[in-house]
Every structure is written in C-alpha cells, then in structure tokens.
Structure 1
Amino acid sequence: MEKTEKIAIFPLGLVLLPNMILPLHIFEERYKEMISDCIKNKTNFGIVYYSGNDFHKSGCIASTVSIIKEYEDGRIEIVTEGKERFKITKIYNEKSYMEADIEYFDDQYELDGEAINLAKVEGLKLLQEIMKIYNENFDFSLVDHLNPKTVSFLIAANGGFTMEEKQFFLETINTKERIEKGVKSLQIIIDRLRVSKGIEKIIQSNGYLPKKHD
C-alpha cells in the first residue's frame, strides 16, 4: 500500500525537484499562516507547479532547512530543500491555504545499471561544460559519487529547462528515461549557449568577424 499523508500545498509558478535548494520569500497572508503552522508543528509542505491555467497534481515535498529572516508584519524568508515526490489524491479547502491528501511515489527499479551509469557520466560532463561556458568553477569530484537518480535531478534542475520540461522530469518514474532525456536536452542547451557566446563576442568586437590568417 502506498504511503499517504495530509499536507499543506503551496502552488507556485516553478517546479521543485528532489535535492534542489529553493529560497522563498513568503509575503501573502495565507502562505504566511501556512509557513507559520509548518514551522510550529515541524511539518513539511508540498510545492506544486501552477502555470496560471494548469494546476498540476504531482509535486515535491519542501523541507524548511533554515529561516533567513522574519519580519514584523509576518513576512518570512526561508530556504527549503526538495525531498520526496507525491501525487495529490484529495484537496481540502478548510483553512486559508490549501491542504491535500497525497501519495508518495519513486522511480521504478531498473535492471540496466551499466547504461544508466554511462548516461550519468555523460550528464556530469555536460554540466561541467556548461559551467565552463559561464566561466564558473565547480569541483565535480563532489558529485561524481552520487547515484544516477540523484544526478538525473541535478541535471533536471538546470536553468536551461522550461518549467514544463522540469515537470516532466519530476513525474517520470524511470531513471534511465529521465537522465537520457536530460543529457540530450543539455547538449541542445550547450549548442545554443555556444552560438550565443559567439554572437556576444562579435558584438563586443564592434560587429566585425575575426579575420582568417593564412
């Protein structure tokens, strides 16, 4: 039987993924009450993607890892971390904020471990390449020991993906499918970044292409 639970729900215009760090500035009255209740009761809440037209039923648990600042008017700045994924089974509107019964879900067990590990290595290489394009340094020895599922969400959290793509990654229960799609999409993002950087260099050189030397 699936593990079920009743939790507070926070609809947002973004997708929270497992292990993802998300700072939040809470200012709306009902969500100030929600966060206050969660902190007081030491409970987590769920974040679901709301695009304005579509309210998704699959989301991710947000755990408050630190309180940055509390204001006199009740506003609060917190840092959250994505945990388990869930599906909403029933919605309650008994409080100022939404609550829901949820069922947790996870990736299915996969037999083709070698293919998944190869995709994981390729994904980390592409993430490193993106860092180089942005002239950012990151010690990938800190993450190369991570399991493929964790790496697949690390790839999915990349800023180059749309919210719809991130929602797909969230809902996918096949690690191999998620990581392979992530790798394929990362390559497209890198190609676009290279073109963008090339155009930027041309603009910085007053629009003149570099001359070829014989």
Structure 2
Amino acid sequence: MALPQILPSTSSSIIPSKSHLNPPANSHLNHPLKPFVSSPSAPPPLHHRQWRRRPNLLRCSASSFSEKHHTNSPKSDDVVELPLFPLPLVLFPGAILPLQIFEFRYRIMMHTLLQTDLRFGVIYADAATGTADVGCVGEVVKHERLVDDRFFLICKGQERFRVTKLLRTKPYLVAEVTWLEDRPSANGDEDLNSLANEVETYMKDVIRLSNRLNGKPEKEVQDLRRNLFPTPFSFFVGSTFEGAPREQQALLELEDTATRLKREKETLRNTLNYLTAASAVKDVFPSS
C-alpha cells in the first residue's frame, strides 16, 4: 500500500521489484510508509542500473529484523576494512535490499566478495550532501551471476558502521570503519517498550487512513511489531520511510533507541495529521 504523494517529486525509489532471485518470502507488510518530511534534492546518478519495473516503495518486513539485540555483533571498538557501495538510499539493519550489479568496478568487488565473506558497506550518497560517514553492512544472502558478468543480489542489512579513514578509491572504495551501536537507555526497557508501542499505533493509524484515501478496504492492520525489541523495531520503522533518505540517514546515525523512536513518532504524527486533513477534504469534495 502506498501512501498519497506528499513528498517532492524529486524523491526517487531505486529498489527493483523483480529479479531472477526471489526475496525471502516472510514479508507480511505490504504497506511501507512515505513520511511527511522534506526531502528536497534529487539523488545522484545510480551506481546500479534500475530494473525495468520499479515499485513506489521499499518493502520491508518486521520478520526480517532480528528478534534480539545484536548479541553476536562485533564490538564497537573493533576496526576493520570494508568495501563500500555508495547508493542514493539508506539500508537499515535487518532490511532486505535487492540489487543489480553491472558497473565494472562493482563487478570486481563482487568477485572478491564471493571469495571472502559476502559483506560490504552500503552508504548513502547524494549530489547535495556527498557521501555519509555512517552506513550499514549489507550481507549477500542470495546471488546470481549472469553470462554477461552482471550480478543479481539479495542483501540483508547487518551492523551499522562509521567510516574513520578512506583507504583507497580504486577500483572501488575501501574504508577503515568502526562499528556503531545504540547506547543503553537511561530510562530502562519498560519506557522503550511503551514508546515502541506508541509508534506502532501511529503506524497502524497512518496505514488505515492511507487505505481509506486510496479506496482500499479499511481492514484492521495486523501486528507490525512482531515481538521485536525496541531497537530492531526502530530500525524497521525507519526502513519504511522510503522517499525521505535524508531523514532515514539521520535515524540511522542516532545512537539512542529512545531518541530514534521519538523522532519516528513525530514523523508519523505529522503524516497522520496530513492524512486526516486530506481525508476530511475528500469527505467534503468526493470527486476530488
């Protein structure tokens, strides 16, 4: 389900909807959110070719996200080398990202990754702000190599990282990175759970109103949180804000779960207010 167009038309979706590979079939959420936040600038040229048919939104499933905090994640003081793939999108931990690799330097990168650990850094870049310092590891969970040496990939977001040093730029970017983790909340898990439940309620209301505006049945929205802990749930919510990559990047960079959830709550509240007003107009002027 796509929400009404409430963002500037310069926003762009670049995730393909079909490939020779099928994404994991555990997606139960077919109504990602397009939040009421500004996203003023157009993205830079794509580093991968857009496929023939594109959906309006990135689709993510709460069941794609880890049920626990990242207990097996590297320690935040570890320093590693990581190949980077700049893209005009933001990948969150737990989110699924389909890609087609056709550019020569990234085909080289893929050949290297296939012989190592299949992990690379996805980092947001656009013409206005340049390349971000914080990104997310994408792990290749499925891949297909074509006869012309292109690759179809299904990647899953893993740990977040911060670039500390650029090591080389050719044939592709390689950087020294440290891992980024949320700090423990001072208010305790109980407050975080309450906040996460509030965010889920706003999401359901936004989806319900959006369905109404799009002439779809106003059926009850199912459980969106799926027993996720607050931190992975906050990443899931951020991943649904397709169309506002700068807002998504700001959410990705936050190191406090409560702050991230509060910001998402405010964005959803603004979206709900907009949809409520749009719904009232539709009731008065049905033909419009």
Question: TM-score w.r.t. structure 1 length?
Answer: 0.85
Give the direction of change, closer, same or farther, for the CA distance of 1:174–1:94 in structure 2 (3 Å limit): closer
Q: Which stretch of the first structure deviates more once superposed, 6-15 or 31-40?
A: 31-40
If asked which structure has higher relative contact order (CA below 8 Å, sep 6+), I would say 2
Following the alignment from structure 2 to structure 1, what is the Cα–Cα distance between the partners of residues 270 and 243?
A: 10
Q: Is the 8 A contact 2:241 2:248 kept in 1?
A: no
- CA offsets 1:146-166 (integer angstroms, 9 cap, x no match): 111011111111235611111
Task: Indicate the residue corresponding to 1:206 in structure 2.
Answer: 287
Aligned pairs for 1:5-44 (under 5 A) are 5-44=80-119
Following the alignment from structure 1 to structure 2, what is the Cα–Cα distance between the partners of residues 173 and 87?
A: 12
SS of equivalent residue, structure 1 residue 41: coil
Give the direction of change, closer, same or farther, for the CA distance of 1:34–1:106 in structure 2 (3 Å limit): same
Task: Indicate the residue corresponding to 1:109 in structure 2.
Answer: 184
Q: Any gaps of 5 or more consecutive residues in structure 2?
A: 1-75
Task: Indicate the residue corresponding to 1:210 in structure 2.
Answer: none
Task: Indicate the residue corresponding to 2:229 in structure 1.
Answer: 147
Deviation at 1:138, TM superposition (A): 5.7
Question: TM-score w.r.t. structure 2 length?
Answer: 0.64
SS of equivalent residue, structure 1 residue 17: coil
- CA offsets 1:44-81 (integer angstroms, 9 cap, x no match): 000111012311111111011112x4321111111111
More strand by share: 1
Task: Indicate the residue corresponding to 1:211 in structure 2.
Answer: none
Aligned pairs for 1:175-190 (under 5 A) are 175-190=257-272
Counterpart among 251, 272, 275 of residue 193 in structure 1: 275
Deviation at 1:171, TM superposition (A): 0.7
Following the alignment from structure 1 to structure 2, what is the Cα–Cα distance between the partners of residues 19 and 73?
A: 30
Return the index of the structure with the highest Cα Rg.
1
Following the alignment from structure 1 to structure 2, what is the Cα–Cα distance between the partners of residues 185 and 37?
A: 40
Across the aligned residues of Structure 1 and Structure 2, the Cα RMSD in angstroms comes to 2.3
Deviation at 1:111, TM superposition (A): 2.8
Q: Is the 8 A contact 1:91 1:101 kept in 2?
A: yes
Deviation at 1:82, TM superposition (A): 0.9
More helix by share: 1
Q: Is the 8 A contact 1:63 1:82 kept in 2?
A: yes
Identity of aligned residues (%): 25
Q: Any gaps of 5 or more consecutive residues in structure 1?
A: 208-214
Q: Is the 8 A contact 2:92 2:136 kept in 1?
A: yes
- CA offsets 1:14-73 (integer angstroms, 9 cap, x no match): 111111111111111111111221122223000111012311111111011112x43211
Give the direction of change, closer, same or farther, for the CA distance of 1:97–1:145 in structure 2 (3 Å limit): same
Following the alignment from structure 1 to structure 2, what is the Cα–Cα distance between the partners of residues 206 and 37?
A: 57
One-letter identity of the residue aligned with 2:192: I
One-letter identity of the residue aligned with 1:175: T
